[in-house]
Amino acid sequence: MMELSRDLEAALGGAKGPRYAELLRILVALGELNDAPRLIPVWSVQLSGISFKTMGTPGTEFLEDAAREVRFSVPTTINPAGYDVGGPGIVPASEDFKEKQQRIVRSLLAMGAISTFSCTPYTTQYSPPPGAHLAWAESSAVIYSNSVIGAFSNREGAPSALASAVTGFTPEYGLHLPEGRRAQAVINVESSKDLHYSSLGGYLGKLLGSRIPFIRGIHPDVDDLKAMGSAMSAWGSVPMFHVEGVTHEAERQVLSGLETYHVGPEEITQFERTLGLDGDEPSLIAIGCPHATAGELRYLARVIREKRGGKIKPRIEVWVCTNRQVIQENPDTVAFLTAAGVKVIQDTCMVVAPIGTSYPVIAVNSAKAAFYASKRSFSGQKVLYATTEELIDRWA
């Protein structure tokens, strides 16, 4: 049995209303299932799955009911919506879809959500400090926060993240404890200079399932870590990774007795082939999964300058998806990209927007986007996959 404070016991009995008690029960049940000794306070919550495309009508109605009864008690950031809700309306969506999406947005904002509409809350003012306990649901943000920031978060589902946003607590188990963060496999990478980190991440996700790797032989920057982690948590359900000489907790890992794997260019090339490296002309090139950082916007601008003399061809559409804060903080880069013909998209992304019919063939640089875009339950698109440089060089 979990140890609960007197206040929490009272709330469980209905002192803060039936909806609060119902949400708290989710956390208690989750904690008991995982032998958590107690509930601990969280620094912030990240809610995912807020596009109408993923939430659907039952989820929308549940949120509307909840918004009449409860409020968030900790900073709660939210994932991309189904279209550019606060933007210039670039993303194609029907009026019916927009109306349904607005119902979700209204409910979330009424409960106190912060209108980040981004899967990279760590690129906003709500980035957590190392050591913060979080209840984040976006898998790419969870793996980044654990591995790169040194914060602590399990990969929450929609109900438990919502329950944490309302109560401010999460059960203490898994990635919140030192033993839940230990390396469970060693990966020796035979790295090449043009290693595509998203491909490495996707390959490792498939290989590892949910095991935490200790990775040797790579020299990633933060954007590489973001790309690798997001793909690892999409192709597998890896919640954290350690990179020798790079990430916070790598030095503390005990590696003896762990299964060791070798990954070289051959394995990575083979994996890339499964993503559809070659194929038709794309109807859309989409960059920014997870949402592009300032560094990724600058890199895209540099590639367009070098490969295309600062202007893409008029017949191809190029999107870069990012968040409001990154747009506001990088006006010159955004102006350059816009003048070059790139559409800088805020508040949504190429996966959660309903764009399968408008853009049946999509070209992406992200193994996570490739994983979801081709799924029938998302957009069922034909996917082409390559690096940013290759995408611009070849099609833009």
Binding site for ligand F3S (CB under 6 A): 79-80, 119, 140, 230, 289-291, 321, 349, 351-352, 368-369, 372
Distance of closest approach, residue 31 Cβ to ligand F3S, in angstroms: 28
* Strand-strand pairing, 284-287 and 317-322: parallel
Q: Which is nearer to ligand F3S, 91 or 183 (CB)?
A: 91
Distance of closest approach, residue 295 Cβ to ligand F3S, in angstroms: 16
Please provide the DSSP assignment of 221-255 as one string. -HHHHHHHHHHHHHHS-----EETTTSTTGGG---
Q: Which is nearer to ligand F3S, 49 or 282 (CB)?
A: 49
Query: Which two three-digit tokens encode residue 285?
Result: 């090139």
> Residue 232 contacts by C-beta under 8 Å, 6 or more apart in sequence?
143, 201, 202, 204, 205, 208, 238, 241
181: left (phi over 0), alpha (psi -120 to 50) or beta: alpha
Distance CA 93, CA 114 (A): 23
Q: Which is nearer to ligand F3S, 24 or 50 (CB)?
A: 50
- The CA–CA distances, whole Å, from 330 to 159, 306, 307, 388 equal 35, 20, 22, 20
Residue 121 preceded by cis peptide, ω within 30: no
Q: Which is nearer to ligand F3S, 119 or 163 (CB)?
A: 119
Q: Which is nearer to ligand F3S, 73 or 348 (CB)?
A: 348
CB 361 within 8 A of CB 328: no
Query: Which two three-digit tokens encode residue 132?
Result: 């913060």
Distance CA 5, CA 131 (A): 23
Distance of closest approach, residue 355 Cβ to ligand F3S, in angstroms: 12
Distance of closest approach, residue 318 Cβ to ligand F3S, in angstroms: 15
Distance of closest approach, residue 40 Cβ to ligand F3S, in angstroms: 26
Measured from the Cβ of residue 5, the count of other Cβ atoms closer than 10 Å reads 11
Q: Which is nearer to ligand F3S, 79 or 167 (CB)?
A: 79
Distance of closest approach, residue 286 Cβ to ligand F3S, in angstroms: 9
**DSSP-derived secondary structure letter, 130:** T
Distance of closest approach, residue 372 Cβ to ligand F3S, in angstroms: 6
Q: Which is nearer to ligand F3S, 207 or 321 (CB)?
A: 321
Q: Which is nearer to ligand F3S, 111 or 321 (CB)?
A: 321
Distance of closest approach, residue 117 Cβ to ligand F3S, in angstroms: 10
Distance CA 35, CA 32 (A): 5
> Residue 390 contacts by C-beta under 8 Å, 6 or more apart in sequence?
none
